[in-house]
Structures are given as structure tokens and as C-alpha cells.
Amino acid sequence: MSTKALTIWTFVVTSVAVFMVSLDNLVVTTALPVIKHDLGASLQGLEWTVNAYTLTFAVLLLTGAALGDRFGRKRMFLAGLAVFTLGSAAAALAPSIGWLIAARALQGVGGAIVTPLTLTILSGAVSPARRGLALGIWGGVSGLAVAIGPVVGGAIVEGVSWQWIFWLNVPIGLALLPIAWRRLTETKGANRSLDLPGLGLASAGLFGIVWGLVRGNAHGWTSLGVAGSIGAGIVLVGAFVLWELGTREPMVPMRFFRKRAFSAANVTSLLMSFGMFGAIFLLAQYFQVVQGHSPLQAGLRTLPWTAMPIFIAPIAGILSDRIGARPLLVAGMALMAVGLAWIAVVTTPTVAYGRLIPAFVMAGVGMSLYFAPVANLVLSTVRRSEEGKASGVNNTVREVGGVFGVAVLASVFSAAGSYISPQAFVNGMVPAIWTGAVAVALAGIAAIAIPPRQDVVPDSVTLLARREGAGDDELVCEPEAAA
């Protein structure tokens, strides 16, 4: 098979996979009120329906990237895809909220393996000169999943049942597995050792922090179970950093963070995801709980926000190659912060939908200016053989930010409002949306710290090797820290 054909097949397989995994981040949101009724779930149970997926996803992303480097990216991609498909079937069969939460966690395990490998596999199949365009299209596909997630969820819930949200993944996964097996090329990372202590410390530390955050609303933020879990998680993450600094073959080279571009990009990702996921978690319920719309109608009303990445993300990818990531990320976070603030200002139980549309469009355009530029920026700061690790770090940070956002904004909501009446819901939602707006504004400030495009480069040896087509194993020189 020709190189061009392999590249096309690689793009198709990775795009469909990231579409399916990204869809499950938001597809469940419009189904939450129905799930609450059918399974008798509490607010905490609804949080866990969302966070069980993002928790395991966030905790194991670094593990997925490391396993791909060690055992083969194609092999682990197939394994992750199979686990995700199995988890989807289990979620569809869930007879109780506990079962559903467990199945969502299994989905998260599969998604954590698949997601960083889609970027690594795709990046390895295209030349660095075309990476911005490829990542832009990849971001558009991911954005399409985000866009139609609430709509698909609403349509399925209204037309069939909420279980079919998860059944939808099963035929896609089963069809994709043999295609990926035949068409993808097996690759491994230059560092094929498996840092088991690092994996254990990182996974346990992230789990402790996230576990405490998602239980804070129900058990109290100062309780021993919550504060102790978060404190233990922070200690373990600190131990992970110390271990990585001392080991010869770390799973996350700490020199990545000496690069201002890499660190600023990850802070931006954390804060953007915090505001976005927390806000959408509440807005998807607002249209049903407060304004009485059906799940499909609620999903359609989010489209001016969530559909923007379909159109804007590919353009943002091309522009990131030409002008760099900083201006796009700063502009995007500013637009998104203004959009969220607008929503917080105008929202009432009876607000006309037309007053929300401009805010949704601004937030959607802002979100669209994030995906491809930040991926391109993160990958451009490291050697090609280390892109899996860099991608894993950025995806982990983004997903942890999403869990933080849902947990914290739900806590703000609970402190000021409730589900008792439409006005009570709005009383809680407005301060929560303001919290999300502040987080996204801080993401814009963090993006200002990203150095200019010409300064965000790996070392000259790596660039020369890439131009001459050298393989990963030939890149043995450590990159210097960028400005």
C-alpha cells in the first residue's frame, strides 16, 4: 500500500476513534434528567455519571501513552478500543445508577488509552509541515463530536431511550477494530521501558485528588474523607514529580515543564476545560429543568455553541502553523469568557432563547480556537519520539480540569440553588457560570505567557532530523529548553 493511502487510512481510523470517545464526554448531558428519573439518581449520582468517565479517563491518560510507547501504539490502540466498546455495552445494560457509573468508568479506561494514541499515530503519519492542517481537521472531527453530542443524546433519549446513547458506540467500535488491525502501522516510542513506580504514583495521586473533588459536595469539603483524599493525592503527585526527576527513564520528563510554551499551554488547558465542562453540565439541564424543553430541543439549543468547532477548528489549525498558537488561544479564551459572563448576566427562568444565542456563538468560537493550536503547540515543543508523552500530559491536564469544573461548579450551584423550582435552579446556576467565566479569563491570561511562534521550537538537531526524515530512534540528543 502506498504511503499516501496509509496516511489516509490512518487519518480515518484515528478520526473515527477520537470522534467516538469525544462524543461520550457530552452525549450523556442531555440525558441526565431522564436518567435521574428512571434510575432514581441524586445530584451526586448525576455528577458521577459524568465524572466516572472523566475520572478514569484523566487518571489513566499518562498510562495509555506509556503503554503505547512500551508495547506498541497500534496494539494498545486496539486494546483501548475494545475496552471502550465493552464499557459502552455495559452502560447500555445498566439496571441501576451504580452499574451505570461502573460502566462509565470502564469506558473511561478505554478512552484513556485511545485518545493520546490517536494524536501520536496521526502525527507520526504526516510530515511536520502539514501537522497543523492535520491536527486542525482532527480538532474539527473532535469538535463535531462535541457539537452533536447533546443533540444525539437528546434525539436518542426522546426517540428511543437513553440506553441507546451507549448502544450507538458498539457497532462503530466493532467495525473499526478490524480496519485498524489491517491498516495501521505498528510503532513504538524510543523509550520502551515501563516506569511502574511512576505509573503507580501518578495514578494514585490523581485518583486521590479527583475522588475528593467529586465527593466534596455530598460529604463536605472539610471532612476527613474529602480533605484527606485531596491532601493524600497532592502528596502522591509531589512524590511522582520527585521520582520522575530522579529516575533515568521517566514516563513524564520534567524538563518538558521548563519550557514556558509547554507549561503555559497546560495551564491554559486546565482552566479552559474547568470553565467549559462545568458550564455545559449545568446548561444542558437548564433547558429541560427550568424551561421545560425535551432532551432533543435542549440539545439543539446548545448547537450555536457546540457546533462552532466544526467550522472554526480546521481554520485555527492552519493559522496555528502560520501565526503561532498564542494569538489564537488568547483571543479564544477572551471570547469564551465574555460568552459565559453574558450567559450569567442575562439568564432568568424565562429568558428568551434569542438573548443567549450571541453568547453561545462567542463561547463556541472561543472554544474552537483552542483545540488544534494547543495540540500543535504542545507537540512542537518536544521531540517526535516523545509526542505520546507530551500528548498524554496535555490530555490528562485537560480532563482533570473538566472534572474540577463539574465538581466545583456543582458545589457552587448546590450552595446557592437547587432543583426545587426553576428560580432555585437559576439562583444556583448563575454564580456557577460566573465561576466558569473567571476560570476561562484566567486561561487567557495564562495563554499570554506563551512565547512567540519563532521561540516555540525543539532543538536544532531534532528539526534537522525531521527535515531529513530520520526515525525516532535516531533522535538521541536531548532538546534544550525553549524560552
The single-letter DSSP state of residue 1 is -
Per 3-state DSSP, what percentage of the chain is helix, strand, and coil (rounded to 5)? 80, 0, 20
The pLDDT confidence band at residue 58, using thresholds 50, 70 and 90, is: confident
All 3 cell numbers of residue 450? Answer: 506563551
The residue written with cell numbers 424551561 in the block is 291
Residues 256 and 203 in one domain: no
Q: How far apart are CA 255 and CA 381, in angstroms?
A: 11
In a domain, 189, yes or no: no
Which of 236-245, 284-293, 474-483 is least confident?
474-483
pLDDT for residue 462: 42
Percent of the chain scoring above 70 in pLDDT:
85
Q: How far apart are CA 236 and CA 220, in angstroms?
A: 22
In a domain, 393, yes or no: yes
Instruction: For residue 440, give the amino acid letter.
Output: V
CATH number at residue 113: 1.20.1250.20
Residues 333 and 414 in one domain: yes
Residues 149 and 275 in one domain: yes
Residues 276 and 409 in one domain: yes
Residues 210 and 279 in one domain: no
Residues 403 and 304 in one domain: yes
Mean of the per-residue pLDDT values for the chain?
81
Mean pLDDT computed over 425-443: 95
In a domain, 398, yes or no: yes
Q: How far apart are CA 158 and CA 294, in angstroms?
A: 7
Mean pLDDT computed over 413-440: 92
In a domain, 186, yes or no: no
In a domain, 343, yes or no: yes
The single-letter DSSP state of residue 359 is H
Q: Is the pLDDT of residue 475 over 60?
A: no
pTM: 0.76
Q: How many domains does the chain have?
A: 2
Q: Is the pLDDT of residue 94 over 60?
A: yes
Question: Where does a domain end: 230, 250, 270?
Answer: 250
The whole domain housing 221 covers 196-250
In a domain, 187, yes or no: no
* 217 vs 454, higher pLDDT: 217
* 309 vs 135, higher pLDDT: 309
Helix (H) or strand (E) holding 472: none
pLDDT for residue 64: 80
Residues 164 and 58 in one domain: yes
Q: How far apart are CA 273 and CA 276, in angstroms?
A: 5
Mean pLDDT computed over 272-299: 84
The residue written with cell numbers 432533543 in the block is 296
**318-360: per-residue pLDDT in tens?**
888 888 889 999 999 999 999 999 999 999 999 999 999 999 9
In a domain, 37, yes or no: yes
Nearest to 464 by CA among 481, 452, 476, 454: 476
Residues 304 and 215 in one domain: no
The pLDDT confidence band at residue 129, using thresholds 50, 70 and 90, is: low
111, 53 Cβ separation under 8 angstroms? yes
In a domain, 481, yes or no: no
The residue written with cell numbers 481510523 in the block is 13
Q: How far apart are CA 289 and CA 312, in angstroms?
A: 31
Instruction: For residue 272, give the amino acid letter.
Output: M
Residues 238 and 299 in one domain: no
Residues 218 and 303 in one domain: no
Which of 36-40, 121-125, 292-296, 341-345 is least confident?
121-125
400, 407 Cβ separation under 8 angstroms? no
pLDDT for residue 481: 37
* 271 vs 58, higher pLDDT: 271
Residues 282 and 420 in one domain: yes
Residues 217 and 333 in one domain: no
Question: Where does a domain end: 232, 250, 268?
Answer: 250
